């Protein structure tokens, strides 16, 4: 019997789900707007009743759910500000009772790290940190071949390590956090806040809306000087922070995941340069900076599928 896993990525806008095998092949996938479901139970039964899920149900060995504020230990989604269901949602318990399948809940950065380890760029690493660069910055930390959860299941909030004293205001209500600089929102903030002799003549000024993607495109494709300056600044802040984080877990690699990382080596090489420049001597020339190999629309589902196979194999 072919073993399959159901991976579900719960986001503020969409819920993506799919089934795949241990080689990372996705057999079926779909996505539904999150606001469709008044109750979390409705989401669970809708997926359960999808014909493409139903016909594979006997082959599904488990369910992996990635959610913001997902607590791995309790299996609950706790007070997620961007989800329509308020309070504490017993996600694992609800899925296990409807599907009668073992269910694992984790946050999106840990799921990305599991996906990278099983299907992507981290196959050969026992110590690495997955850095997810999206609206915010998250991290999934692997040490000695195990993901780190910490005492309460919430380890790895690298995005909220404060790197600039009294720096930019962060959504966590504190100041100077890494994600206020190295994330898509941070990059847009840099456009407004940074000053440079080339700012006035930048092609970015012609745009109706400034996005991180446009800034990357203008730096990479149009060689716009101010855009390049912003990307260099972002890489410097991130590379320098990653240099300090190396002291904590002595990683073999940092793997950059998410929208910003999609420019590939263009960005990862800049980050690597600033990482090396700032590293403590004993860590120099030992840490790779790589781009995720899960870069497609399935990445989030794949990470949650990987969590299931990881659980089953260990
Ligand atoms: Zn913060």
Determine the distance separating the centroid of ligand 1 and the alpha carbon of 67, expressed in angstroms: 19
- Whether 207 has a pLDDT exceeding 70, the answer reads yes
pLDDT at 116 exceeding the cut of 90: yes
Ligand 1 centroid – CA 236 distance (Å): 19
The rounded Å distance from CA 136 to ligand 1 centre is 9
| Mean pLDDT on 251-276 | 92
Ligand 1 geometric centre to CA of 144 (Å): 28
**pLDDT at residue 171 above 90?**
no
pLDDT confidence tier of residue 260, bands split at 50, 70 and 90: confident
pLDDT digits (tens, 9 = 90+) for 118-144: 999 999 999 999 999 988 899 999 999
CA of 172 to the centre of ligand 1 (A): 4
pLDDT at 314 over 80: no
Residue 218 CB contacts under 8 Å (≥ 6 apart), including other chains: 202, 203, 204, 224, 227
Over the stretch 242-253, which tens digit does the pLDDT of each residue have?
A: 999 999 999 999
At 264 the pLDDT is: 79
Instruction: Kindly give the pairing relationship between strand 137-143 and strand 146-147.
Output: antiparallel
Distance 23 CA to ligand 1 centre (A): 36
Alpha carbon of 154 to ligand 1 centroid (Å): 14
Q: What per-residue confidence (pLDDT) applies to 68?
A: 83
Other C-beta atoms lying within 10 Å of the C-beta of residue 78: 16
Residue 262 has what pLDDT? Answer: 78
What separation in Å is there between the alpha carbon of 108 and the centre of ligand 1? 17
Residue 297 has pLDDT above 70, yes or no: no
Ligand 1 centroid to 155 CA: how many Å?
14
Distance of CA 160 from the midpoint of ligand 1 (Å):
4
pLDDT of residue 110: 93
Distance (Å) from CA 245 to ligand 1 centroid: 16
pLDDT > 90 in the chain, percent: 83
In angstroms, what is the span from residue 56 Cα to ligand 1's centroid? 42
Q: What is the mean pLDDT of residues 286-294?
A: 95
> Is the pLDDT score of 295 beyond 70?
no
CA distance 283 to 215: 32
Q: Is the dihedral of CA 258, 260, 266, 267 positive or negative?
A: negative
C-alpha 189 – ligand 1 centre gap (Å): 14
Comparison of pLDDT for 259 and 148, the residue scoring more = 148
Ligand 1 centroid vs 179 CA: distance in angstroms? 7
For residue 61, what pLDDT is reported?
96
Q: Are 58 and 100 in contact (CB under 8 A)?
A: no
Strands 4-10 and 60-66: parallel
Q: What beta strand segments (E) does 38-122 contain? A: 60-66, 70-71, 76-78, 88-89, 102-106
Residue-wise pLDDT tens digits, 42-92 = 999 999 999 999 999 999 999 999 998 888 999 999 888 778 998 999 999
- 177 Cα: distance to centroid of ligand 1 (angstroms): 5
pLDDT of 313 reads 54
pLDDT in tens, 220-231: 999 999 999 999
């Amino acid at each position: 019997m072919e073993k399959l896993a159901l991976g579900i990525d719960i986001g503020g806008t969409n819920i993506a789900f799919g089934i795949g095998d241990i080689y990372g092949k996705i057999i079926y996938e779909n996505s539904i707007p999150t606001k469709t479901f008044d109750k979390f139970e409705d989401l669970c039964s809708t997926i359960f009743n999808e014909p493409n899920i139903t016909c594979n149900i006997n082959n599904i060995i488990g369910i992996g759910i990635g959610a913001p504020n997902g607590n791995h230990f309790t299996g609950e989604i706790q007070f997620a500000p961007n989800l329509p269901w308020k309070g504490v949602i017993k996600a694992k318990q609800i899925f296990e009772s409807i599907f009668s399948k073992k269910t694992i809940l984790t946050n999106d950065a840990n799921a990305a790290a599991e996906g990278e380890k099983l299907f992507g760029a981290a196959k050969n690493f026992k110590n690495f940190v997955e850095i997810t660069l999206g609206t915010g910055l998250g991290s999934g930390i692997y040490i000695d071949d195990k993901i780190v959860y910490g005492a309460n299941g919430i380890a790895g909030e690298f995005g909220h390590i404060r790197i600039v004293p009294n720096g930019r205001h962060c959504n966590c209500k504190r100041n100077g956090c890494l994600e206020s600089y190295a994330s898509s929102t941070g990059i847009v903030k840099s456009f407004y806040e940074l000053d440079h002799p080339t700012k006035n003549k930048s092609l970015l000024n012609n745009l109706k809306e400034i996005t991180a993607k446009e800034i990357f495109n203008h730096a990479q494709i149009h060689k716009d000087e101010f855009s390049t300056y912003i990307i260099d600044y972002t890489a410097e802040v991130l590379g320098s922070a990653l240099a300090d984080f190396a002291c904590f877990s002595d990683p073999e690699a940092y793997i950059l995941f998410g929208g910003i990382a999609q420019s590939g080596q263009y960005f990862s090489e800049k980050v690597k340069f600033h990482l090396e420049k700032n590293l403590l001597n004993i860590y120099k020339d030992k840490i790779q900076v790589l781009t995720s190999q899960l870069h497609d629309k399935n990445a989030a589902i794949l990470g949650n599928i990987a969590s299931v196979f990881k659980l089953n194999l260990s």
